[in-house]
Chains A and B, each alone.
Chain A
Amino acid sequence: MIPALFIGFSLLLLVSGLMVVLHKSPVTSAMFLVVAFCALAGIYILLHAEFIGMVQVIVYAGAIMVLFLFVIMYLNLGHDPEHGATILLRRLIGWIAGALVVLQGAMLFAGRWALGPTSTEAPPLGGNTQALGQLLYSRFLFPFEITSLVLLVAMVGAIVISKGRSTRTPDPIPHAPHAGLQAVLRPGDTVTPPTPPGGGEA
């Protein structure tokens, strides 16, 4: 059972990873990357890393992929012309997927998929998450705190970089005296005196 699941998840992971690299449209690549991350989460859970598997789904397939898709959308890279046949096919796939979801819910509530415990040994109290948390807050406390600093620096850096230099900031001192302004002017520049607000000279 478990080796078969592992082989299935691995095949899904590798095939969708290849599709990420090979597909022409960036949006489709991103979608295949989501599939790859979810398959990898399944492999993590099979390897007794339940917390990492959940974090993989939440952080990678959730947050990071939303960031990717948002940038693709913002830059308008997903040139995806919709033809008639394609949109019919998509609608068909959508109906099939919706029916599958409803079927899964029905079977779940009917209790058909209650597999029961697969292993005889009981999991330790608190499980993987508690053990990992205790390790993070005792032996790896200093790297853990540094990680928060890394995230803070990345956040500030991303904001500063994406604000960019291309947008000219308005002059912070509109009423600065000319002697101060000429210090930053090169010879040959034309200087237009700033008009005071309200048109006081007129």
Chain B
Amino acid sequence: MIPTAWPLAVSAVLFTIGIIGVLVRRNAIVIFMSVELMLNAANLAFVAFGDALKTLDGQVFVFFVMAVAAAEVAVGLAIIVNLFRLRESVFVDEINLLKG
């Protein structure tokens, strides 16, 4: 039997790794991968709490999060492809269309 604190600690560390990736990397695709890491950290927390509380609701939420993540990846990669056509680059420092 695994203590509930263990997967939660792993989830927290994984989320932190994802945040570091989003903040440090400049390649838009790697930033997307880091976002996926963060989503998976949240999923792990859901499953861990569901296991601790002996309920399936956490797994149902993970199911929905996976569907939303698939949708997000499809749309996001389409945006990256379009951006690459426009700018010939996927490095977010060179993309300032919104003048932010």
- Footprint of B on A, CB under 8 Å? 2-3, 6, 10, 13-14, 17-18, 20-21, 26, 29-30, 33, 36-37, 40, 43-44, 46-49, 51-52, 55-56, 59-60, 63-64, 67-68, 71-72, 74-75, 77, 128, 131-132, 135-136, 140, 143, 147, 150-151, 153-155, 157-159, 161-162, 164, 166
Contact = CB atoms under 8 A, between A and B. Distances in A.
A159 to B, nearest CB: 8
B59 A49 contact: yes
Interface in B1-54: 1-2, 6-7, 10, 13-14, 17-18, 20-21, 24-25, 27, 29-30, 32-34, 36-37, 40, 43-44, 47-48, 50-51
Nearest to A148: B67
A26 B27 contact: yes
A14 B71 contact: no
Interface string B43-77: 11001101100001111101110111111111101
Interface in B76-100: 77-82, 84-86, 90
27 contacts: A3-B2, A26-B27, A36-B37, A40-B40, A40-B43, A47-B47, A47-B51, A49-B50, A52-B47, A56-B66, A63-B70, A74-B81, A75-B90, A77-B27, A77-B29, A132-B56, A135-B60, A150-B68, A151-B67, A154-B72, A157-B78, A158-B75, A158-B77, A158-B78, A159-B78, A162-B82, A164-B85
Contact of A136 (B24, B63, B74, B78): B63
A59 B17 CA distance: 22
Contacts of A131: 56
Contacts of A159: 78
A77 B90 contact: yes
Contacts of A51: 59
Contacts of B44: 40, 43-44
Contacts of B68: 147, 150
Given A10-B6, A46-B2, A132-B59, A21 B20 contact: yes
Contacts of B36: 33, 60, 64
Contact of B24 (A6, A21, A64, A68): A21
B37 A135 contact: no
Contacts of A10: 6-7, 10
B25 A21 contact: yes
Given A60-B66, A132-B59, A157-B75, A162 B17 contact: no
